Amino acid sequence: MFIFRLRLFFLAAITLVALLGANACTRASGSAPLPPPPAGSTSWPPATDRIVNLDGQEEDIVPLERRGIYVVPVNRWLVVTDFTAVVDGAERINLGEVFAGELRIRLGYLFLGNLVHEDLHAFHSTTGLVFRPGSVVVLASTNTLTNINDDVRYNLVGYLADL
């Protein structure tokens, strides 16, 4: 019963964050949000060669590791509209962006949710999260509390937009 109530709480919290918008979460970290892709630069729906749909599994992500899962082309923006993951381990995995050697957390583990061991973590947005051209999308561990590794099964969906 406790797990059921905890999951309901989590769903309510995720819904509230989704209603507030992804940019509110980004601004809360103290960094300015990225500029959106130029208006009218991408037709809708995106052409099939512009759609990004990654299914993957990464095992044994060690504490503080950054594991790259996608390199954004240098002539395109990546707009992530959906990210779903199942995390098993220390569960301090974030969806991040590495650009010019600097890590920027785009979806933190608290936003993705991690109170229930090996639970489903999901982000869905009609506007999406924008990743810079030439950046690397990473699964980034912020685990400094334990020496437990993480296993992550994920699905990332989005599209590439013109500069």
CATH number at residue 66: 2.60.120
Q: What is the mean pLDDT of the chain?
A: 77
Q: How far is CA 17 from CA 4, 79, 81, 107, 132, in A?
A: 20, 19, 15, 12, 23
Q: Pick the residue with more confidence: 101 or 10?
A: 101
Total domains in the fold of the chain: 1
Q: Which domain holds residue 134?
A: 2-162
Whole-model pTM above 0.75?
no
Tell me the helices (H) and strands (E) count for the chain, helix number first.
Answer: 3, 8
What lies within 8 Å, CB to CB, of 129 at 6+ separation is 22, 26, 79, 80, 106, 107, 123
Confidence category of residue 73, pLDDT binned at 50, 70, 90: very high
Termini Cα distance of the chain: 50
Give the CA radius of gyration of the chain.
16
CA 20-110-73 angle, to 5 degrees, is 80
| CB-neighbour burial class of residue 40 (10 A; exposed 0-12, middle 13-18, buried 19+) | exposed
Confidence category of residue 35, pLDDT binned at 50, 70, 90: low
Q: What is the mean pLDDT of residues 123-141?
A: 93
Confidence category of residue 111, pLDDT binned at 50, 70, 90: low
Report helix, strand or coil for 109: helix
Confidence category of residue 52, pLDDT binned at 50, 70, 90: very high
